[in-house]
Structure 1
Amino acid sequence: MNKFKMLASVAVLTLGLSNIVSAQDTIALTISTLDNPFFVSLRDGAQEKADELGYKLVILDSQNDPAKELANVEDLIVRGAKILLINPTDSEAVGNAVAIANRNNIPVITLDRGSNKGKVVSHIASDNVAGGKMAGDFIAEKLGDGAKVIQLEGIAGTSAARERGEGFKQSVTAHKFDLLASQPADFDRTKGLNVMENLLASKGDVQAVFAQNDEMALGALRAIKSANKNVLLVGFDGTDDGIKAVKSGKLAATIAQQPELIGRFGVETAVKVLKGEKVKEKIPVDLKVITQ
């Protein structure tokens, strides 16, 4: 009898191990850049969820280069990825990578930034349009209608930059802001500093700046301090550095995304797709205004 019990236990154990092994389908994730703290947090959230659910997650950094992104996707397909999570470098250029995955019958889920081409089973992101409007409404709340404002834009061609700009434009119209300038600084801190320095030289009467991410906001902050100006500065993303700057009174606010949650939702959605479950085409992640 003991022998039979032992055999039954072994059978159950083997079945359990079999289930674990079958769950080890490879989920692939390409990140636009790991030089940005926001995307590091997104990666970490995805990794935590993959570990929790028992799935292997392979992550590659595209270094803000669409050609590198395309090569990464080709590499991941060769390595046997069953599903692809893409945080695009550029919403237009990523269409080539999505097309390759489509041809190989590998489902694609986009994170934070969308793809303008190809078949994507789900897009997981904050409501960037709502976030841009929230930033403008916050400025109006502090300075009133008709304020003189500048916008620092993200990377041209990304859905995040386009949508945040669209939302901010709604506020500019609603609150009759005087938009002195709207220029790209590519979501980069150093470029935020350089662009803001140049703008302050010609638009010195600016009252508020909306930067489409915290990195540009922190760069702009240095330029504003160096110029000894008093300017209301609003960022976007709610990164650790951005929130610290808000709490210390250096930034007025940041529109906080939850990048860890975007990463976690990405893996959760990928697992559902792998199991043959139906998923929503768009999965929103909540935003909030963080102030001192």
Structure 2
Amino acid sequence: MQRTPAFALSALALTGALACGLAQAQTSEPVIGLITKTETNPFFVKMKEGATAEAKKLGAKLVSAAGKTDGDNAGQVTAMENLIAAGAKTILITPSDAKAIVPAIKKAQARGVMVIALDSPTEPMDATDALFATDNYKAGELIGQYAKAAAAGKKPVIATLDLFPGHPVGAQRHNGFLKGFGLQANDAKSNELSRPAEVVCMADSFGDRAKGQTGMENCLQKNPDINIVYTINEPAAAGAYNALKAAGKEKNVLIVSVDGGCAGIADVGKGVIAATSQQYPLRMAAMGVAAGVEYAKTGKKVSGYTDTGVTLIAAKPMAGVDSKDVKTGTDLCWGAK
């Protein structure tokens, strides 16, 4: 059977006319949709790579789309509608807005489409048929434990560069970090960000390097004595480092993060980031595509939450904290664990 290459289109570019044309194409290949938050974030680029490779391996047709920015729910809703028109029987999605996307998901499911969340859960989590994701609370705990050990003997003056208010992943990583550090923190079910007295500044970075830099600059203006920085992801961490370097403070501030991408692991090796919790988006996407192919063949749906793994990567190990070195992180580098 001749395999059709994956399609990669933005949510707006995937027009109704094109979607209908795809749906009418004569093919025996199952159509699987992938909707990411953006097309440019390296995490989602790797996720699409994993989905594309698995679709090719299993003889499926992957049609991908994305919102314009993190938080673009309208773009994801449009993408979902167009993918249904394109004949997708399974849609994999990284929800930008955990609550607002739910009505669109229910419409898709009512038409027999299996919907699987990747990386980020919906709210409620069972709005999708299944979730393949990192345990984000655990990811936060790991870097919190590391930061506490690395900062032993110092009074913690903490800044957090978060995602944006109300997002489950952002809350889980933030609160997990605080819990791992031994500070007051909400549990993994809460979407509210805890703020104990040790946290002197909180800023929304939207996972973006430039916004992370601006957030760090603002935090330094509020409190120049910050010595620990938690960031939602490595692009935000790189932005924070730029701000600290410009202020001449980069050598005295510990930055910890989450993601474990190739660039992020390189930054751990350079000393930009002290430690990061590595997750595996390629594996998430591959598992989602495999589940979609199985559903197309047998009608069997996956269900529930599948933990796709997390590993703490650090250049300098800390006693009592389980971590792997930069070489290990580079070898894994967002691939299958």
SS at match of 1:73: helix
Percent identity between matched residues is 31
Tell me if the contact between 1:69 and 1:97 (Cα under 8 Å) persists in the aligned partners: no
Task: Provide the aligned length of Structure 1 versus Structure 2.
Answer: 274
Counterpart of 2:165?
156
User: Which amino acid is 1:263 matched to?
Assistant: A
Counterpart of 1:171?
180
Q: Does 1:131 align with 2:139?
A: yes
How far apart in 1 are the matches of 2:299 and 2:112?
A: 14
Offset of 1:79 from its aligned partner?
1.1
- 1:105-254 to structure 2, matched below 5 A, reads 105-117=112-124, 119-144=127-152, 146-174=155-183, 178-229=198-249, 230-254=252-276
Tell me if the contact between 2:202 and 2:219 (Cα under 8 Å) persists in the aligned partners: no
User: Which amino acid is 1:25 matched to?
Assistant: P
The CA deviation string for residues 167-216 of structure 1, in whole angstroms up to 9 with x for no partner, is 12313444998221222111111000001001011211111101011111
How far apart in 2 are the matches of 1:177 and 1:243?
A: 31
Counterpart of 1:89?
96
Q: Relative to structure 1, is the Cα distance of residues 287 and 199 closer, same or farther in structure 2, using a 3 angstrom cutoff?
A: same
Q: Does 1:277 align with 2:300?
A: yes
CA RMSD of aligned residues (A): 2.0
How far apart in 1 are the matches of 2:27 and 2:299?
A: 14
Q: Does 1:267 align with 2:289?
A: yes
Tell me if the contact between 1:92 and 1:157 (Cα under 8 Å) persists in the aligned partners: no
Give the TM-score normalised by the residue count of structure 1: 0.88
Q: Does 1:286 align with 2:309?
A: yes
How far apart in 1 are the matches of 2:148 and 2:255?
A: 12
- 1:51-66 to structure 2, matched below 5 A, reads 51-64=56-69, 65-66=72-73
User: Which amino acid is 2:110 matched to?
Assistant: R
Q: Structure 2 unaligned runs (5+)?
A: 3-25, 185-195, 316-337
How far apart in 2 are the matches of 1:177 and 1:277?
A: 50
User: Which amino acid is 2:285 matched to?
Assistant: G
User: Which amino acid is 1:186 matched to?
Assistant: F
> Which has the higher Rg, Structure 1 or Structure 2?
1
Q: Structure 1 unaligned runs (5+)?
A: 1-15
Deviates more, 1:263-272 or 1:104-113: 263-272
Which protein has the bigger helix share?
Answer: 1
How far apart in 2 are the matches of 1:253 and 1:39?
A: 21
Give the TM-score normalised by the residue count of structure 2: 0.77
Counterpart of 2:6?
none
Offset of 1:277 from its aligned partner?
3.2
